[in-house]
Structure 1
Amino acid sequence: MMTLGLMNSYSLRSGINVAILDMVDETPNNFTTDNNYLYKTECDVQNDTSQLTKQVGEFKWTINQQTLLLGCFYYGYSIMNIPGALLAKRFGIRLVLGLTGILSSALTMLMPILAYQSFYLLVIARATVGLLHGVTFPAVVTAWGIWAPPLERSRLMSITFAGGAIGVCLTFPAAGWIVSSINWESVFYITGAIGVIWSIAWLIIIHDTPAKHPRISSQERKYIESSIGIKQSAAKHAVPWKHIFTSPPVLCCFAAHLGDNWAVHSLTALGPMYLERVLEFNTKSAGILSSLPFLLCVVITVLWGMTADFILSSRFLSILTVRKISSSLPLALSSITLIAVAYVGCDALLVVILLAVCVGVLGMTASGHYTSFLEVAPIYGGVTFSISNTFNSGVGFAAPQIAGLLLIDNSLASWRNVFWLAASITLFGSIMYAIFASSQVQSWAQENDIREETENNLMVKKVDTD
């Protein structure tokens, strides 16, 4: 259900990335150098596509308005990550994910109406959906901190995180088909309706902890709780903010997360636009081709997650080595492919292959820095991840809007700047994780230390009272 939940989350956030290609007036009269966008590109000339009919949509939005609309989801999303983790700890994952899912899905279904009313109403709606979805990843990580035995974490995290890639993989081609066969409005109606169905099913089926699950066997419950070795009461202890922000193993996870997010969010938001407006694919083809990187990501995420757990259970490599292979290597490879995309020009087939490799190999990171959040601080896994996701979700709106500033025109040279920036940030994350990553529970996150600290605090209070 968590995998389906991430599929739903990414479907709601990414449908507009394809729909916008049909919503906007792409004729030369709208896209001119006056609003920082050149209609004709090198690929028009090279591929002799200059006579292709451009989409005449209802909205005359500039490129900066479009990138604002694509990125504004993350304004709300970034705000809610830390509160989302705290809400999940306080009220449980069942209510938090179920209720936010229903509200965000219903709001998505209203977006066509809001678009016709006002561009800024649509921006506010997208940001509000992001606010509601800000609880998703913190709640998921919190849940696996409670439910996932250590030797099954790589596999379970990988399968769950694959849901995001599956959501994009299915939504891009489906949205392209819906736009071409029906209309762009239906993208929002259909994805929103599916989201409502999932949310209701989640509220009916899911329970917060093994202790609360009515159908789990006592043997399985004891196995999960004993293997994790964390009392539920300990998870409610005060968050050690100072230790978190000064811990190199945690900070390097933040850096790896940044590199991962920048590459993925750049291609999720701008991939369809690059394929349709630079390489001259139609909307339906752009949707299908944009999904291929995420299809490969799904396959690699699941297969590598299973492989990583097998390696660990067989003791072929240490936990730390597996984690570094799972994050530093794919981040470095993604950086290389992004630079390559910047220089292959109008070779559409090669661009699609390189983008597929770029996103696909990042599927390995579910067994890398994402799992490290649980290993270095199991009790605070949801909190540390939510802190990272708060800062790094800013990439979701920063990457498209910075791209809008870098795209002084629609030339390959302007897009090259976008790819170089993404490659540099991704490589930085790879290097930082390779140097500072750890697989050991940090002293400030160990249950014994927490218990001793709590007892000391109680003694101090008693002395003060006496």
Structure 2
Amino acid sequence: MVFNKASNEEKEPLLQNVDSPPRLPIRYIILFFCFMANTINNGMRINWSIAILAMVSKKKLDQSNLSAEVLLGDNGTESYDWDMETQQIILGAFYYGYTFTPFLGGWLVGKVGGFRVLFTGVLLSSVMMLLTAISARISVALLILTRVIDGTGQGVVYPATYSIIAKWSKLNERSTFISVSSSGYSIGAIVSSYVSAWLCSSCFLGGWPSTFYGVGISGIILCFGWFIIGSNDAANNRWISNYEKKLILSSRTEDTQSENNLDKVPWKSILTSAPVWSLCVCNVGFDYGYYFLSADVPIFFKTILGFQIKTTGLLTLLPQSAMFITMILGGVLADKLIFSGTLRIITMRKIFGFLGLGVSSVLLVSLGYFRNDITIVAILMVGVFAMYGFFIPGIDANTIDIAPNHSALLIGIMFSISSLTGFIGPAVLGALTNSTNTIIQWREVFWIVAGVQAFGLVAFLIFGSGNEQDWN
């Protein structure tokens, strides 16, 4: 293997080894970047839910020359006099930027490619993380603006990773690649929740500001590496060996290799496609349940079951870990089942979809009927998230099955629609528990969530397809 300085015309790889496979395939490095992009993305989001607890305090500090009311936290760090309404506005501002940008990201991928969209999205969110502390110090309005921009940056990243994976993976690796890339969300939640809590309780770099500096710098470093190594596809990467390039391109369909067909998006065909809409409805069911369990069930543990914060934290760590494991194993299993001829693509996708939404719904409803047994509650929570892990290689990977050229756009449409559940879910919960907060109301909520998940599952079981669509 030798290093060559190639001309732009020839587009020769800098690392060549024509006769034998490389020791470390470049596509695995590309996959690692997608994984880290998702890890940092969700880490930024979880980071806020922890940090805001340290950003608010009741002890006043001299504020003579400050535009925002600055207070003194319990560990001597600066904090602010924000009421609950202000805190919710700050946290919710993220979704004003995030709701429609997955769709924008999917469309942009078709115009400029996944490489630029991923780079820009991560960079934008990272810069906002670095500006969080100073923005909070200046004014709440400026802080809200950084949250909106942060959501905008994060919204375009996930569709970009799908486009990159569709063009970098072999056919028999797609489910595995998608599972590994998406598992970054679980790892981001696990790592960020504990690292953020530790930094917020320390005095390092001012306490809570260090959590934003850390994740922001991590994103900048990732962008630097991606700028050097990354590319839209294997055909145009300067680091890939000729052996690996031929290996990837030979396993791809002619349509997927062509970039010219991305200039015109078959909007009518996409918007009237039953398989596409079945994916959208199915994803609404999944996100409604996932957002609910991630954001609101800890409240159930504390207010209804009376669990301590440490216990609640453990019931957050274990389920996310279980989801990470089943997501990876599910991806590997899916590829083996499909390419060994054991199951057809659509059969495997629907089985995994049933595990992800059907079985999880039964376990979710059961949570409302075991209020005095922490062991059973823990098992049920782990079980729900473990089943959620099968959803990614089962349903989300289906976008590449039916339209590999437009998978990023499909993911963008799906996520833009399903992100609305981030608003709807808390509203439904608030309406049912605002006046009376008892186990009875929570059981009703669990049944509603399970019903939405079941509806999404039925839609995919009836209309889902594993065949590449003609309009691709």
Q: Does 1:197 align with 2:221?
A: yes
Q: State the distance in 1 between where 2:331 and 2:178 align.
A: 8
Is the counterpart of residue 330 in structure 1 residue 356 in structure 2?
A: yes
Given that residues 14 and 269 in structure 1 are in contact (C-alpha distance below 8 angstroms), is that contact kept between their aligned partners in structure 2? no
> Which of 448, 462, 465 is the matching residue for 1:438?
465
| Deviation for aligned residue 1:163 | 1.0
Structure-1 residue corresponding to 2:238: 214
- Structure 1 residue aligned with 2:248: 224
Equivalent residue, structure 2, for 1:132:
153
Question: Cα–Cα, structure 1 residues 385 and 235, in superposed 2: closer, same or farther, change >3 Å?
Answer: farther
- Aligned equivalents of 2:366, 2:85: Cα separation in 1: 26
CA distance in 1, matches of 2:152, 2:43: 16
Taking the aligned partners of 1:268 and 1:26, their CA distance within structure 2 comes to: 28
Of stretches 355-364 and 300-309 in structure 1, the one that deviates more from structure 2 is 355-364
Q: Alpha carbon RMSD of aligned pairs, Å?
A: 2.8
SS where residue 471 of structure 2 aligns? helix
- Of 237, 250, 261, the match for 2:276: 250
Q: Write the distance in 2 (CA, Å) between the matches of 1:275 and 1:349.
A: 13
Counterpart residue type for residue 442 of structure 1: Q
The reply on whether 1:8 has 2:8 as its aligned counterpart is no
Counting matched residue pairs gives: 418
SS in 2 for 1:399: helix
**Which among 92, 103, 109 is matched to residue 113 of structure 2?**
92
Among candidates 443, 449, 452, match of residue 425 of structure 1:
452
Deviation at 1:25, TM superposition (A): 6.0
Q: Post-superposition shift, 1:266?
A: 1.8
8 Å CA contact retained: 1:8, 1:198: no
Question: Aligned pair in 2 of structure 1 residues 258, 174: CA closer, same or farther (>3 Å)?
Answer: same
Distance 1:420 1:380, change over 3 A: same
2:208 pairs, out of 168, 181, 184, with 184
Runs of at least 5 residues in structure 2 that lack an aligned partner in the other structure:
1-32, 60-73
Aligned counterparts of 2:56 and 2:438: Cα–Cα separation in 1: 19
- Pair 1:372-2:398 in alignment: yes
Question: Where does structure 1 differ by over 6 angstroms across 4 or more consecutive aligned residues?
Answer: none
Give, as a single letter, the amino acid of the residue that structure 1 aligns with 2:103: I
Q: Is the 8 A contact 1:73 1:396 kept in 2?
A: no
Distance in structure 1 (CA, Å) of the matches to 2:208 and 2:36: 24
Local SS of the residue matching 1:444: coil
Contact 1:172 1:290 in 2 (8 A): no
1-structure distance, mates of 2:302, 2:47: 15
- Residue by residue over 1:49-94, the C-alpha shift from the partner in whole angstroms, topping out at 9 and shown as x without a partner, is xxxx9xxx95565655544444432221122122212222322322
Rounded Cα–Cα distance in structure 2 between residues aligned with 1:440 and 1:87: 25
1:138–1:385 CA contact under 8 A, matched in 2: yes
Correspondent of 2:329 among 297, 303, 311: 303
Q: In structure 2, what is the Cα distance between the partners aligned to 1:280 and 1:202?
A: 46
Matches within 5 A, 1:382-393: 382-393=408-419
Spell out, residue by residue over 1:75-128, the C-alpha distance to the aligned partner (whole angstroms, 9 max, x if none): 211221222122223223222222321221121233234345444443332222
Q: Which runs of 5+ in 1 are unaligned?
A: 28-52, 446-466
Listed as ranges, the matches of 1:67-82 within 5 Å are 67-82=88-103
**Structure 1 residue 383 displacement after superposition:** 1.1
Q: Does structure 2 retain, via aligned residues, the 8 Å contact 1:70–1:400?
A: no
Letter in 1 for 2:173: E
Cα distance 1:165–1:175, how it changes in 2: closer, same or farther (>3 A)? same
What is the CA distance between 1:371 and its match in structure 2? 1.2
| Displacement after TM superposition at 1:420 (Å) | 3.0
CA contact (8 A) 1:408 1:414 kept: no
Preserved contact between residue 320 and residue 439 of structure 1 (Cα < 8 Å): yes
- Residue 403, structure 1, aligned to residue 429, structure 2: yes
CA contact (8 A) 2:109 2:409 kept: no
Residue 459 of structure 1 is matched in structure 2 by none
- Structure 1 contact 75–397 (Cα < 8 Å) conserved: no
Contact (CA 8 Å) 2:115, 2:164: kept in 1 or not? no
CA contact (8 A) 2:121 2:155 kept: no
1:385 counterpart letter in structure 2: I
Q: Where does residue 316 of structure 2 map in the other structure?
A: 290
**1:47 matched residue in structure 2:** none
Q: 1:136 to 1:86 in 2, by over 3 A?
A: same
What is the letter of the counterpart of residue 110 of structure 2?
K
Answer with 186-195 or 378-387: which moved more.
Answer: 186-195
Percent pairwise identity: 31
Give the structure with the higher percent helix: 1
CA displacement at 1:155 relative to structure 2? 0.8
1:164-204 superposed Cα distances (whole Å, 9 cap, x missing partner): 11111211222233334454333323222222222222222
Letter in 2 for 1:139: A
Residue pair 1:147, 1:209 contacting (<8 A) in 2 also: yes
Superposed CA offset, 1:329-368 (max 9, x none): 2211221222122332354443333222212211111211
Task: Give, as a single letter, the amino acid of the residue that structure 1 aligns with 2:249.
Answer: E
Q: What is the rounded CA distance, in whole Å, between the counterparts of 1:287 and 1:23 in structure 2? A: 19
Q: Residue in 1 aligned with 2:170? A: 149
Q: 1:399 to 1:202 in 2, by over 3 A?
A: farther
**More off after superposition, 178-187 vs 276-285:** 276-285
Q: Which residue of 2 aligns with 1:106?
A: 127
